[in-house]
A and B are shown apart, each in its own frame.
Chain A
Amino acid sequence: MAVSKDQWLKQLRSDIPEVSPEDVRSELDAKKDVLIVDVREGDEYRQGHLPGAVHLPRGFLELQAESKLTDSTKDIIAYCAGGVRSLFAVDTLKKMGYGKVRSMAGGFTRWKQNGHPFDVPEVLDDDDRERYARHLTIDEVGEAGQVKLKKAKVLCIGAGGLGSPAAYYLAAAGIGTLGLVDYDVVDKTNLQRQILHTDDRVGELKTESAKKTLLGLNPKIDVKLYNERITSQNIDEIVSGYDIIVDGCDNFPTRYLVNDACVKHGIPNVHGSIYRFEGQVTVFWPPKGPCYRCLFPEPPPPEMAPSCAEAGVLGVLPGVIGVLEAIEVIKIILGKGDLLVGRLLTYDALEAKFRELKLRRNPDCKYCGSDDFPGYIDYEQFCAI
């Protein structure tokens, strides 16, 4: 014979320890090692939740418990809106082997009525949730990570070979604010690799052309354009307010200005460079790792660098390196994974080989090794790669 809901609840109440919102509050205030689990649906959670609560909707409890509640011996308090669904949830968790699970009586409604603090998560709208669905299902991103991407401000120096794939994927990934710096116009010879631009935009400013492509892919991001050459005079103003810089420029004077500005402002500098079939990528982020000048204190003189006459690059190569830069950007924003800080990754396309070189901070570096910023240097512009 079927058991009625009331009979079942009565049984659960006698089996499952309940705790009042006031007791939960004092455990939280006392910084007890207790995990709060919100078992309500997504739309309820987004209206507000207990501080630090893990969201594990009742409908996904069995499927997601293992990944979200990794320690089955931990003290867990589950809550829902009124204290009923959490009883069922606790019943399930106990069957799954979680030993110390309690249910909060009265749920979130009573918690809120009694004046306890709660957080309202920054959330995505339905359109975002659809667009980024494949991110939201990854634990390392999820809704909280996607919100971080949305709030992030990333500046791409150069909208060319490296800037194109980097900015394209960053726009797709939902970086909320993307800045692009480039003063050049689209040339037919760019189209072999600079995938943001199109044949009918030859002669247009690269920044304007890039913006059209990026907004075509993702109209919800904000694209800011800087149609100017970077100099010691304007760099502070251009980089200010950005969280991360993607260096995809094509000359030494700009690379040194970008490095020095990143050191000065404490901005991580995701660095990529390419030549023919070879590429390099790393993240300069003192004091976690070295800056560009720790590796190469000064640019080469014109006679020591390959000249523009020798320029040439396999069109796909910047795709590989630019995308690696974009991945590092995402990892920095999400705070996940091992960054290429202190490591130079080199790629040889002909050999199809990646190699890694360990990079160290130079304690005598005049830029990142000293508290006194020595000032910007406008190196002589010469045609080198």
Chain B
Amino acid sequence: MAISVRIPTPLRKLTDGKAEVDAAGSTIQELFDNLESQHAGIKEKVFDDEGEIRRFIIVSLNGEDVRYIDGAATSVSDGDEITIVPAIAGGV
């Protein structure tokens, strides 16, 4: 089962410049474990040492912040859209 994950520009250096990558798993946690095996380094950009989503990153499932669903344990299934949205400071 492949679910597409949108990668924000700052993290694309970890995905060979790809804006969208496929990953497998039935929860957000599993999805990122699988992503990590394909693109080493991406997990620590999104999760902290306690396995929580970092406080300056939003992971959204079909447009909803997973923090307000079940966090890392949120279930995902085929056809879902996962988007990683980081805080960006730039304006100049």
Contact = CB atoms under 8 A, between A and B. Distances in A.
Interface of A: 158, 160-163, 190, 194, 247-252, 255, 272-278, 280, 295-300, 304-306, 310-311, 313, 318, 344, 346, 348, 350-351, 355-360, 384-385
A277 B9 contact: yes
Interface of B: 8-10, 19, 45, 54-58, 60, 63-65, 68, 83, 85-92
Contacts, number: 102
A153 to B, nearest CB: 21
B91 A272 contact: yes
8 contacts: A249-B89, A274-B91, A296-B55, A299-B56, A355-B63, A357-B58, A360-B65, A384-B89
Most chain A C-beta atoms within 10 Å of own C-beta, residue among B65, B85, B87, B91: B91
A344 B88 CA distance: 12
A269 B85 CA distance: 19
Contact of B58 (A160, A277, A295): A295
Contacts of B45: 304
A248 B91 CA distance: 5
Contacts of A247: 91
A161 B83 CA distance: 26
A273 B9 CA distance: 13
Contacts of B8: 278
Given A297-B55, A300-B54, A252 B87 contact: yes
Contacts of B83: 355, 357
Given A158-B92, A278-B8, A304-B45, A299 B64 contact: no
A273 B90 contact: yes
A297 B57 CA distance: 10
Given A300-B56, A351-B19, A358-B64, A250 B9 contact: no
